Amino acid sequence: MSKHDDPYSLRSRLSWRLLSLQAALLVALVAVVLAALSASGFVLAGRDEDRVIDVVQRAVARDAQGGLILRQTPELKQLRDETPDLWFLVRDKRGHSLSEGAVPSEFAAIGSGLDQISQARLGWQLFEDDPRKPAARLKRVDTDAGNVQVITATQGRLTGAKALFMTSIALLGIALPGLLLMGTATFIATPMIVRRAFRGLNTTADQARRIDIHQRGARLSLDKIPLEVVPLVTAVNDALARLDQGYARHKRFVADAAHELRTPIAILNTRLESLPSGPDKTRLLEDSARLATLAEQLLDIQRLDRCGRPFTRVNVVSIAQGVAADLAPLAIAAGYELALDAPETPIETTGDAAALERALTNLVQNAIQHGPRRGTISIRVSRPACIEVTDEGAGIPADQREMIFEPFYRVTPLDRGAGLGLNMVREIVLLHGGQVSVTDEPDGGTCFRMTLPPSR
């Protein structure tokens, strides 16, 4: 599987894509604002008027007559080079003043009226007057010439790439915290939204996990399913419907085949009984009896499955006694002794007596057919509702004990049979809500155990 085929988290992918979209929108917004400001000739954050005032403050001095002059400091020279439209006005309380640049007429004569003001910002009504009129900053500072009033611009036209860069930094300073806030909200909110939106899908997934081969007719619910997922759920339901139809056809075929086998098996048994006694006749009778049991078990599975398991109270001790009595001649003819160990009091379970009897018959026939043709085959019944069939054969390897219950699996590849008997035993026991297992006996041999739920 390539990396492109790997499963991915929808919550994570939505979070990152939403965050990327928000970042792109913020960058686009900053670009639009910068383009608009560049076209109009204005910036939101102008020159650094505090720096202008500081440079002028260190450059102001007095001449011999007491007037105000500017010393040509390196800072002042640099400021002039960086700010072509630089202007400022310096005034002291005695009426001396000096200026540089194109001081707006609105601010040229305002200083005398603001002698008692230490600092102020002077602006315009943006929507009523010309927006290109610059605002001004006023501040009183102490210099080598004493306390003076400095007025300079707080806004101005874009002066090139540097001003544009500074404006971009200012705007990004606003955009980045906003992006961080939105990103945090996205990563918190997106999983919650996706979880809530897919709550119905989780319920449908739980329904799908509970579907098994014995639960036909089940369909996935479309309640509270997102519209985008409805086609997938509908397709799954259609597939389940087709599987049900195919399974029903398969079941009908198996039931019909098992039913049709009854007559030829009965004829075969009649003809075998007429043969002279001998090992071959014994083997043929074993095979015929096993074939008859398999056919009846196929019918049992179909009947229990189709009729909704019409179970009643069943005495497993009686079942074991009946099987022992029926198979004792077959076991003795094959060279075994057949022993029954069961309590005198009944042990009851809820189930179908005929099906359980045939399942036990299958286990005993299996021991007869695959055993060493000597020793004892034992049937033990114990509480709460357990039936065991043990033999004295070579046993079953531990790594094959689970596989022997699979259809068509045989421990010995060239052994007789198709490998269906133990599989049908397990199916019948599962239909009764029980379990079947295989273990080794302490003294050698194999023990098949059917554990059934006790009758309440």
What sign does the CA torsion over 287, 292, 295, 299 have?
A: negative
Taking a C-beta distance cutoff of 8 angstroms, is the pair 320, 381 a contact? Answer: yes
Cα 115 to chain centroid distance, Å, stands at: 73
SS3 at position 83:
coil
Phi, psi of 351 (to 5 degrees): 180, -160
What's residue 103's pLDDT? Answer: 86
What's residue 280's pLDDT? Answer: 77
What's residue 318's pLDDT? Answer: 93
Rg (CA), the chain: 49
C-alpha 193/C-alpha 15 separation (Å) is 11
What's residue 11's pLDDT? Answer: 67
Q: pTM here?
A: 0.47
Query: What is the mean pLDDT for each group of 10 consecutive residues in the chain (456 residues)?
Result: 56 73 74 65 56 90 89 90 87 87 81 79 61 77 91 61 59 69 76 73 79 72 76 85 76 63 71 77 75 70 64 90 90 90 91 87 86 88 92 81 74 55 83 88 84 86
C-alpha 353/C-alpha 357 separation (Å) is 6
Taking a C-beta distance cutoff of 8 angstroms, is the pair 388, 379 a contact? Answer: yes
Distances (CA, A) of 81 to 55, 86, 89, 160: 13, 9, 18, 13
Q: Which of 438, 434, 435, 433 is nearest to 448 (CA)?
A: 438
C-alpha 25/C-alpha 243 separation (Å) is 50
CA angle 320/322/323 to nearest 5° reads 65
Taking a C-beta distance cutoff of 8 angstroms, is the pair 260, 389 a contact? Answer: no
In the block, residue with structure tokens 């020159």 = 47
| β pairing state of 376-382 and 337-341 | parallel
Two tokens at 374? 């000597």
| β pairing state of 348-351 and 312-315 | antiparallel
Taking a C-beta distance cutoff of 8 angstroms, is the pair 229, 237 a contact? Answer: no
Residue 200, classified by CB atoms within 10 Å of its CB into exposed (0-12), middle (13-18) or buried (19+), is middle
